[in-house]
A and B are shown apart, each in its own frame.
Chain A
């Protein structure tokens, strides 16, 4: 960075030059501590390690390709027997008759994740904003480890918590409050709530880190224009952090699509297209987890479940690609 040189700097530089000359003289007189000339082993190791890290990286990237190839190969039998449109858009599901319509599972997956997003995104965003912009150090000292623990709880515990608390609440209180009766409580709403609670700590932590990277000076500059704290947060801090916030949501919800056990425990697992938030649903991960034990006993069932897994993977990939496209557009508008 170009900088004005003041008198002090010039003085410092001249002093440094004097010192340099003195060291130059003393090096010539003393015997060198480090042997000159290259050690061939070091050179070989250097080249070798470069290749090792590259090989490891390619291997991990290859995993994705291998998984996709495996799923596609295993899906071929069911794809040969049924047109793709039937598989994706039919809701007839009777494995014994060889009818595989995946629409109920696809929609259940999307709905549960959407409900979770509607609950978790505002909750995460506001929490992260509080922690980053308002909370004092003492509060943070207690809140940060609590979020860590929340994020580290095994998902089966969230499932049990959902069964014991969320399902009865949805059945007895929330449905009555909305004037809906005769619901079981096992529903895509319960699945969404449990999922939201699971995703929330991860998203909060990432969004918090992202907000912390917004320079303090930018907040000061906005405040100095006479903006209120909330105007500063809403119009400048969030805007500047928006690519990171979106990236946090992508990360959180890529996991959410595939979250299995906790959702499976509260979502009802009924093969139907959910018509409302109190209806039972049957997301793809639950389908696979519930049936992989018997998939070999029914013809074509194993191939159908592999195809289900492939659909899930494609949903996650499409979601990721779309979200990154949005992210790029936003980045271009501010950079």
Chain B
């Protein structure tokens, strides 16, 4: 397969981001492979999360950020003048470090996204809520208490609820910002399994600080250091046979 035949949902060109005087992202240019699981790794504060949040323009909600360059999603520059930001965000489901259930019932957490995008018929909503809860393997655990507050679920269940909620607006891409870092090992395994299943249909990009997690589930790895992409490529190449000295140090545990 030549590089031109690899389709990519997200394609970044010369992206620079300044946060005040801090040059947080430096000349980022990369294509994120379609229907693959890409892991962004690197030491704390290297810009992993910042890069992830430029994909759906959440980063601009932070005061004092200045972005130049292009992020193309399905060929459209999301930082262009006519970009419809809600539509761009709808294309990407987001999982945060800690689960963020909305302050409403389990049912409404899933139905919320669909209803703001115009699906109002009760029958359709019921059907879709069940479907997406099943996709996230949560249906059997919550089917008897769909109308109790989502905050009463365990942390692991909340994270699967957030996954179902993100999928319910029918995105093409799933973004994960260390989505398992607050979870216990079993819940972590649940989410990892889901990610592996879902990459058949979705492009998944996740930030992780756990190298073993990247080894376990990622197809493709991006290593960042101090706001720059140092090395990227298939997982076995970047983690198994790193070319750059910084990557070698990080993978070997010398920098963390």
Contact = CB atoms under 8 A, between A and B. Distances in A.
Interface of A: 1-4, 6-8, 11, 136-137, 215, 217-228, 231, 235-236, 239-240, 332-335
Given A4-B213, A219-B61, A225-B166, 12 more contacts: A1-B182, A2-B183, A4-B212, A136-B63, A221-B162, A224-B56, A225-B112, A225-B113, A226-B113, A227-B112, A239-B104, A335-B151
B96 A220 contact: yes
Contacts of B4: none
A137 B63 contact: yes
Instruction: Give 4 closest A-B pairs by Cβ, nearest first.
Output: A226-B90, A224-B94, A225-B113, A2-B184
Contacts, number: 97
A224 B212 contact: no
A239 to B, nearest CB: 5
A1 B180 CA distance: 11
Nearest to A220: B58
Interface size range of chain B in the complex: 35 or more
Contacts of A334: 103-104, 149, 151
B100 A221 contact: yes
B68 interface: no
Interface of A is mostly: helix
A216 to B, nearest CB: 8
Nearest to A215: B100
Contacts of A235: 112, 116
Contacts of A7: 211-212, 253
B186 to A, nearest CB: 9
Contact of A335 (B149, B211, B212): B149
Contacts of B63: 136-137
Interface string B71-101: 0000000000000001101101110111010
B8 interface: no
B90 A221 contact: no
A209 B210 CA distance: 36
Contacts of B162: 221
Contacts of B169: 225-226
Contact of A218 (B90, B102, B185): B102
Contacts of B104: 239, 334
A217 to B, nearest CB: 5
B181 interface: yes
A218 to B, nearest CB: 5
Nearest to A226: B90
B96 A2 contact: no
Nearest to B87: A226
B102 A222 contact: yes
Given A137-B63, A225-B166, A334-B151, A236 B102 contact: yes
Contacts of A6: 209-212
Nearest to B93: A224
B121 interface: no
A224 B253 contact: no
Interface string B209-230: 1111100000000000000000
A236 B185 CA distance: 30
Interface in B32-90: 53, 56, 58, 61, 63-64, 86-87, 89-90
A119 B162 CA distance: 39
